[in-house]
Structure 1
Amino acid sequence: MVKLARVEDRPTPPEVYSWRVYANSLIATFAAVMIGYDSAFIGTSISLASFKKEFDLVDRPQANLDLIDANIVSMYQAGCFFGAIFGYPVGYYWGRKYGLFAAGLLFCVGAILQTVASDKTGLGIIYAGRVIAGVAIGAASNLAPIYVAEIAPPAIRGRLIGLYELCWQIGGVTGFWINYGVTRHIPESHKQWVIAFAVQLVPGGLLLFGSLFLKESPRFLVTRDRNMQALKNLSYLRHLPEDAPYVVEELREIQEAVEHERSLAGAGFFGPMKTVFADRRLVYRLLLGSSLFAWQNATGINAINYYSPTIFKSIGLTGASTSLLTTGVYGIIKLLGAVVFLLYLVDQLGRKLLLIIGSVGGAISMFYIGAYIAISDPTSNTSSTVDSGGRSAIAFFYIWTIFYSPSWNGTPWVVGAEIFPQHVRTFTQACMASSNWLYTFLIARFTPQMFSSMHYGVYIFFASLMVLSVPYVYFLLPETKTVPLERMDELFASDVKPWRAHAIVTQRMQENRRLQSGISTPMGSIKIEDQKLEIAQRV
């Protein structure tokens, strides 16, 4: 049984934190391994001489090469954007479990297409494979955080959704070091570049088969009036009997929340859309959640992920192996940061403070790197060694990673999965995921051109945006840690200031528990048998 530190919203039986909820969350979030792997391997793989020779790119003008590289990388994000939107009808009609299964199957198809590409097929099949894989990942990036948010106990919800970020970084580290290994140990050939493409099938296959063992979300089952199955699944996930007070109470809260949300716009495919756009508070949450992904990309993370060789070249590192080794260390730091985020920070410090700390530390680091490049112009240095200023710039790049990885890397996904009511969550998560991929597409598509024209200004640009994100987060984003999903509306009430909302809602929750604990008469309590009968009658 897991016994990591946690802050509970109510007294909770220890069985609730069993391996079952962790295992189901890990299977669902394993989709992120594929995302992290792609961000780590693709930029380096297409820069290999063996890849360029295979597809007759060696003698192309640099501007043409930049365009081809940007197209190969960004086709994936374009597919992700549309996949995140398609994830809404998939999640609505098929549920979370079979939606993730379909995403795993589609991803494997896309990965196979990329792997069989050669000089005979040309780049067209790679473009097609990346779009198809992107559609699958977009759908998975929609469904996985929703599923985890819906099955997670409030005290460890941030930690479990944070598994998505952990898997992302595991995939990233794998991608960085596989590229380093094939560059060092495999001669220049078709095999050298195709290995990295083929490895995509491993996480894709694991998601495909692992999703068959998932327990469907009890919240989704309640929306389909499958209440007895919801009770069985909730009992399994909480590792408690079906008549346990904790299980019955939680299911009652879910049912009441779903019934209330249905009354706002009615059931149906378009009901959630009408609910969101008819309520300006939900529109505000939609814009706020989407904007967090814009600020996440404003840190420069995806420019670094997809074009790390260009980044390190601008600092003064030369040689493919040296650049790949430095990038591999960067991936390890991101992984360690994700572990710290997952095990402690997200549910202890909370979401809001993490984002502010990440922005401040990241901005200072980016300003230093930009100033170094502006003053020293390391790309004009013909020496094969890096001077002390260059080493300090690399150090600040790693410092930036230390601040970014446990903050902006995973927190927007956690917040985006938390802040919406159940009845609209599949639709809003589609909006969250698609907005992330839209911003990522823009960065991936135009980063080569940005470095060609802005030079050190790219770092100053990202640093300045990180500074601007601090007041934005402080004044507009309420803290969500330990707040049950069913009480998120209170955080966004019009009469509550975002920077005070968490304290107010937490105080209300404590007062409600005190009142409930004072009710001891038979008329003030509900017997477990009566609750189970009521559940059965709703089927």
Structure 2
Amino acid sequence: MGLLTLREDRPTPSAVYNWKVYLSAITASFASCTIGYDSAFIGTTLALPSFVDEFGFDDMTDDHRALVQANIVSVYQAGAFFGALFAYVSSFYLGRKKTLLCFTVVFLIGAAIMLGANGDRGLGLIIGGRVLAGLGVGGASNMVPIYISELAPPAVRGRLVGIYELGWQIGGLVGFWINYGLSETMAPSRKQWLIPFAIQLVPAGVLFVGTLWLRESPRWLFLKGKRDAAMKSLCWIRNLPPDDIYLIEEVAYIDASHEQERAVGAANIWTPFKVVAHSRRAQWRFFLGGMLFLWQNASGINAINYYSPTVFRSIGITGTNTSFLTTGIFGVVKTSLTFVWILFLVDKCGRRIMLLVGATGGSLCMWFIGAYIKVANAGGEREGSDGGLDSGGIAAVFFFYLWTAFYTPSWNGTPWVVNSEMFSQDTRSLGQASAAANNWFWNFLISRFTPQMFLAMNYGVYFFFASLMILSVIFVYFLLPETKSIPLESMDRLFEIKPVRVANKALMAELQVQDSEFRQDVANSNAKTTTGPEKSHVEEV
């Protein structure tokens, strides 16, 4: 097996791993660049002296300033929550491609509105624009993982959905460094803080143009009865003719899945709700998907993303540029490790082991950081220093980056991968909407209350996140099966096998047997077709 192919559920032609499937995933993942950029740039932009002066933050009390900052950040997540739900409806009627295009336009409008804000007009345009931008990224966060998972060959599905996470990190890397560069090279002015807001338009503009090139999801077209268009799209993305045995088998899987759906009622927008209401199996997967994003946010990642200057100040790092530089290095570590996760880990190691190792190691790091802040009173008596750290502070920063090394190749993107693949066809759109909404709901809570948590809890914030990460280990070990390499149409069977720790291995063995039987049936059928006319000719003679 090479770098671009991994363990397969059945023999797969090399043509399947072609440039089209990778470029489609990369194009759609520009949506996550906009999300990642926002999560990184907004915290440091709010800390820019030019922004602080423009909107009078220095004239506010600590509590009032924390509230205003929390509102600016969190309205974005609130909008994204509803955008994720709205995308479920639009994707049912319009498809994956058109839905992504519509929500990209909404984001562009919101990002443009923010550029009209200034000290005289107040923060209203920024807040209103962030609500619209949030709606846009919420819809995109629903669509992109499910779109990629429906295009992807099973063996590299994790890697392709992982490109969505890579886009998030690349956007974040730019967002983390943009304000450091501006603070170093540009005098404080309105333009200084306006530039970071304007850059949001770049990845969104690329996404808008790129979406025009994308093909619609073949599985959505099959679901809507558009078989000719579906086969054309599937042949294009697989780079195979329609009579290839691999495509015949894949279409058979899809048709069988749709037959199951028809058995529970005609496919309409309410069918998934009925399925979930009457199926404990479906309810269980919705619960697992939502909890994965609870545990992801409980790691503390979004507290760090949105309020990185506050986080580093709590460790004892002071000075605007020093804080921005430390934040920028955080972005570099995350992005570098995301490449490692995509190329070597997600489809090689699987989902479960990475989540278990990441949460265990991350929790230990958080315990150390909290203990250092408690003992050294970092951020308290060190307030007003030039950013220098003693040996304990240097160790705390090291453990912070070590926490990043544990978190990034595990909880950063893996919940998106699992949620994009574990739902059955009849609930996949609703399941992804639920997953995206859960992500933004927990994200909203963290972004809304992080400033107040640091004011009230200080070092206790780190102990809080460390404890929750330990709980996530218990959750994953006992409840979450490994989804690596499993075809989307076989997920129902995966969640039936107990105990969950052996479910993947058992199902892969079953699939190998089924594949051998299917290919033998096709071979026998082809043999009968070939010999039939010859036999008739001999008898006639």
Q: Deviations along 1:91-119, whole A, 9 cap, x unmatched? A: 11111111111111111100001112112
User: Does residue 436 of structure 1 match 2:442?
Assistant: no
2:162 is aligned to 162
Cα offset, 1:266, TM superposition? 1.9
Further displaced range: 178-187 or 505-514: 505-514
Count of equivalent residues? 527
Q: What is the deviation of 1:497? A: 2.0
Cα distance change, pair 521–69 in 1 and its aligned pair in 2 (3 A): closer
Residue among 505, 513, 516 paired with 1:514? 516
Deviation per CA, 1:465-488: give whole Å up to 9, x if none: 111111110100000001100000
Q: Find the counterpart in structure 2 of residue 471 from structure 1.
A: 474
1:453 aligns with 456
1-side partners of 2:175 and 2:49: how far apart? 18
Shift of residue 252, structure 1, vs aligned partner: 2.3
* Larger mean Cα displacement after TM superposition, 448-457 or 113-122: 113-122
What whole-Å deviation, never above 9, does each CA across 1:195-237 have from its counterpart, x for those lacking one? 0000000011111111010010000001110001100100000
What letter matches 1:139 in structure 2?
Answer: G
Most deviating of 323-332 and 379-388: 379-388
Post-superposition CA distance 1:245-293 (Å, at most 9, x none): 2122212221221222122132111011111221011000000011000
1:5-32: CA deviations, max 9, x gaps? 5111111100100000001111112100
Amino acid at match of 1:73: V
Distance 1:143 1:525 in 2: 43
Structure 2 contact 48–179 (Cα < 8 Å) conserved: no
Letter in 2 for 1:355: L
Change (3 A) 1:525 1:441: farther
Q: 471-480 or 507-516: which moved more?
A: 507-516
Superposition TM-score, scaled by structure 2 size: 0.95
Question: Corresponding residue for 1:241?
Answer: 241
Aligned-pair identity in percent equals: 50
1: CA distance between counterparts of 2:527 and 2:138? 46
Instruction: Identify the residue that residue 501 of structure 2 maps to in structure 1.
Output: 499
Match of 1:267 in 2: 267
Gapped runs of 5+ residues in structure 2? Answer: 531-541
Cα distance in 2 between the residues matched to 1:391 and 1:106: 44
SS at match of 2:103: helix
> Which whole-Å CA distance do the structure 2 matches of 1:526 and 1:297 have between them?
58
Whichever residue aligns with residue 283 of structure 2, its letter is: V
Root mean square deviation, CA, Å: 1.6
Deviation at residue 172 of structure 1 after TM alignment: 0.3
Residue 399 in 1 paired to residue 429 in 2? no
Q: Which amino acid aligns with 1:471?
A: I
Distance (Å, rounded) in 1 between the aligned partners of 2:167 and 2:412: 12
Contact 2:363-2:467 within 8 A present in 1 as well: yes
Structure 1 match to 2:138: 138
- Distance in 1 between residues matched to 2:135 and 2:355, nearest whole Å: 29
Q: Secondary structure at the match of 1:499?
A: helix
Q: CA separation of 1:359/1:96 partners in 2, compared to 1, >3 Å: closer, same or farther?
A: same
Whether 1:390 aligns to 2:393 is yes
Counterpart of 2:37, as a letter, is Y
| Aligned CA distance change for structure 1 residues 79 and 526 (closer, same or farther; 3 Å) | farther
Structure 1 residue 140: Cα displacement: 0.3
Which residue of structure 1 lines up, in the alignment, with residue 412 of structure 2?
Answer: 409
What is the deviation of 1:501?
A: 1.1
Which whole-Å CA distance do the structure 2 matches of 1:386 and 1:521 have between them?
Answer: 71
- CA offset digits 1:35-72 (Å, max 9, x no partner): 10000000110122211221233211111000000000
Q: CA deviation at 1:526?
A: 9.1
Task: Name the counterpart of 2:319.
Answer: 319
Distance 1:443 1:520, change over 3 A: closer
**In the aligned structure 1, how far is the partner of 2:521 from the partner of 2:210?**
45
Contact residue 145 and residue 420 of structure 2 kept, 8 A:
yes
Cα distance in 2, alignment partners of residues 519 and 273 from structure 1: 37
Structure 1, unaligned stretches of length 5 or more?
Answer: 529-539
CA contact (8 A) 2:5 2:155 kept: no
Asked if the contact 1:519/1:525 (under 8 Å) is kept, the reply is no
Q: Name the stretch that deviates more: 55-64 or 122-131.
A: 55-64
Distance in 2, matches of 1:5 and 1:323, equals 41
Q: Partner letter of residue 507 of structure 2?
A: V
Separation in 1, partners of 2:169, 2:192: 23
